[in-house]
Amino acid sequence: MHFLDTGEMTEFKHLKEETCVESEVNISKEQEDQKCAAASQALQHEDTTGGGSTEGQECAEDGSDTVADPKEKEKEMGDSTNHSSVKRPRKSDKSLLFQQLVKLFFGCLAAVTCGMIYAVYLSTYHERKFWFSSRQELEREITFLGGSGLYYYYYKHMLAVPSFERGMQELMHDNRTVSSQTINAVEQLFLYPELVTSFLYRVTGSQDVIEPVYFYIGVVFGLQAVYVTALFVSSWVMSGTWVAGMLAVAWYIINRPDTTKVDYAIPLRDNWALPYFSCQVVALTGFLRNCNSSATEMFCYLLMGASTFTFILMWEYSHYVLFVQGLALFLLDCFDLVQPRKMADIHKVYLCSVVLAYVLQFQNPSLLSSPLLSLLAASTVARYLQHNLKMGSLVARLMKILLHFYLVFTIGMTFSYVVKRIMPVNESDHMLKFLEVKFGLNTTTDFVPNLLLCQEGFQSPSQDFFLRLTQASVLPFYLLVLLVCLLSILQAIYRRLSGEPMKSNLRLEDGRIGEKPEVIYHVFHTLLFGMLAMVFEGMKYLWTPYVCMFTAFGVCSPELWMTVFKWFKLKSVHPVVLALILSTAVPTIIGFSLWREYFPRVISELTELQEFHEPDTVELMNWIKRQAPVTAVFAGSPQLMGAVKLCSGWTVTSLPLYTDINLLRRSENIYQVYAMRPAEDIYKILTSYKASYVIIEETLCAEMSPVKGCRIKDLLDISNGHIMYEKGEMYAFSKYRRFCHEIKMNYSPYVNYFTRVFWNRSYHVYKVNSVISFQY
């Protein structure tokens, strides 16, 4: 593929020379010099303001090499004089266009094929893992693990109501989910995916064609196909060859445990949102490129706007992700590595997306207090205060950049503080306390921050994570590619701050991979998300896919190899030829090694019959549906309550959400059934939430956690002050025994308040007595 690309470059150069020859028939040498001088002035003006006409840019690009090499200019003028009377045929123009169309067609075909194959693979793997087609509806719903089944309940609800409008109204005023509360489920749970999917299921007439659960799963798997297709296109656009896209998809699938959670929790919000983020990254990559036509740039801009807005609408954490992306773009702008016009356009996309999402999310205050909006406001004000940020000597510009950082930080913090004072956001306090404890700035006995710290996604990644990436060969190559690009970017920053303009028409032989804005963005992108992934394991799902994509681009990019050869001043072999050879040979060797080692494993995953068996949970859900009254309210752990709500539709006391502090406090109170508290206290807590039944889970009551102090009962003992330390060991102490153990003994006073109505090996269900009967 790369040899084809080189041929295209050669033809393009010849075509340019022919155009110059034809134009020089009518233009004298003096007129040509005046035209190039005007183009140089237009280029300087564009570097200062970020504007300039399209014609001026083209002239600057055509004349940049002339200014850099006067001898070459004279040679071209001489050749044009000798051939001025010859008018060459323009067949090469048509052949070049044909080659480009063929390349584009096969690249798009390969991208779409990779996406479709991945979707089929996910569907087959899901069927093998859960035996999905052979299970009853209740057993299928239980396979939605981690509390994610709650979202699927609302999809079922929207299909069960007589009309879409009535279902929408019921979700906006939902008093049948959380006891003693009326919530806007669309706003609180970000249910737009379920609303859109249920609407599509209705209007497409799929009721007679496919079951609702298969339609729902199919949409999610289709989005995952879009995800890998977007990664393919990103790597293809940056490297110039769709071989890089295929290598990126291969690495993504091989490292699937670290790139996606769709295997075990299909309805999670990030499984819906991250495909749109990948489309946004593709559009941003294309938009940042210097050699775009106006039509291509407009297409990328519109796609970026649509995908950014959809991403914010789908996921409660989306504005934090965009904030990190905004920081990467902010660094590009500070070091003058991207046109100011494009940065202004990107800021417009961010602002419009946040405002529209704020309206459709029922004036969600967390969007107005988001760090993304603070960054936009701060950078705009700081730029207004510093008109001459990109002028002056090297030292002066560095000092101005440091001042700019300080201004943006100060103004951003002030803006966030003012917004929170005007529109208080309750959940920010517990998140701030969590971050203080996470980074060792404070300690606390509060249950909520300690519970968040014990969640797998908020812990530091294990060594197994890095071992898996190393075994798949992606991590070693990623570090090499990142090192080369980073050093080249530092060179570009030094040139830019020294007053040297960046070349907008880079050639392969220039060896300046670090001057391409799209490459610079992705370096900052992977660095920032990588730093977060080193602290929070859950961030690996945002970092690892782009590590795969970025690494595939690097090993397949002739520009990267040429940059290395330029540094070493290779002369024994022509560096351009060697760069093209290595950019083809290295990915080919990597691809064959991955095929030999991992393809049999992937096939074995599809052929191996796995077993998912939860008989105790199925028995519990069947009992609830058959025996519990419709008005019953169930209390228990948030994850179990999500399954209860999904399978039965009954009202529950808490939900598996970590963004709402009120629900987290509810969960803390309900969790007291696993603490050392008297029966009277537990009874008062449950009746305050109007609970009719409480479910005791054996796995939590007799929990053995590998993380010290992260068992639910440990967190409760710490919060309740029932912990003693002796010789470095932690002991629990209270005058009351643990409630979940004592209630099983069926003696007073526990039988006075609670009556056991169901039990099996995993669950014990107790009815909360409405009338207390004292037995001794």
The predicted pLDDT at position 758 comes to 94
- Residue bearing tokens 């009351």: 736
Q: Confirm if 180 and 690 have CB atoms less than 8 A apart.
A: yes
Q: Confirm if 633 and 692 have CB atoms less than 8 A apart.
A: yes
Task: Choose among 642, 757, 747, 651: nearest CA to 696.
Answer: 757
Task: Choose among 728, 726, 729, 750: nearest CA to 738.
Answer: 750
* The 651-652 sheet, strands edge to edge: 651-652, 633-635, 693-697, 763-768, 754-759
Please state the separation of Cα 706 from the chain's center in Å.
29
The predicted pLDDT at position 62 comes to 38
Separation in Å, CA 295 to CA 102, 140, 286, 517, 697: 20, 47, 12, 19, 60
Q: What is the dihedral of CA 267, 716, 710, 139, to 10 degrees?
A: -30
Q: Confirm if 457 and 537 have CB atoms less than 8 A apart.
A: yes
Helix axes 212-239, 540-556, angle to 10 degrees: 40
- Residue bearing tokens 């701030």: 432
Angle in degrees, CA 208, 164, 181, rounded to 5: 125
CA gap 537, 465 in Å, rounded: 9
Cis peptide before 749 (omega within 30 of 0): yes
The predicted pLDDT at position 705 comes to 66
DSSP-based three-state secondary structure for 291: coil
- Residue bearing tokens 């237009």: 42
The predicted pLDDT at position 707 comes to 61
Q: Confirm if 457 and 538 have CB atoms less than 8 A apart.
A: yes
Angle in degrees, CA 125, 315, 119, rounded to 5: 20
- Residue bearing tokens 């069926």: 746
pTM: 0.84
Half-sphere exposure of 649 (CA within 13 A, CB side): 11
Lookup: tokens for 523: 């370096």
What b/e readout covers 27-58, taking b as 16+ CB neighbours within 10 angstroms? eeeeebeeebeebbebbeebbeebebeeebbe
Q: Which stretches of 361-393 are DSSP H helices?
A: 365-368, 371-385
DSSP state, residue 552: H
By CB neighbour count within 10 A (0-12 exposed, 13-18 middle, 19+ buried), where does 592 fall? exposed
Q: Confirm if 605 and 125 have CB atoms less than 8 A apart.
A: yes
Phi, psi angles (nearest 5°) of residue 632: -70, 150
In 463-577 the beta strands, taken as DSSP E runs, fall at: none
CA gap 384, 378 in Å, rounded: 10
Lookup: tokens for 162: 């007589």
CA gap 228, 549 in Å, rounded: 10
CA gap 214, 133 in Å, rounded: 9
Angle in degrees, CA 175, 180, 185, rounded to 5: 35
Angle in degrees, CA 146, 152, 153, rounded to 5: 105
In this prediction, the residues of the chain whose per-residue pLDDT falls under 50 are 1-89, 776
CA gap 376, 327 in Å, rounded: 10
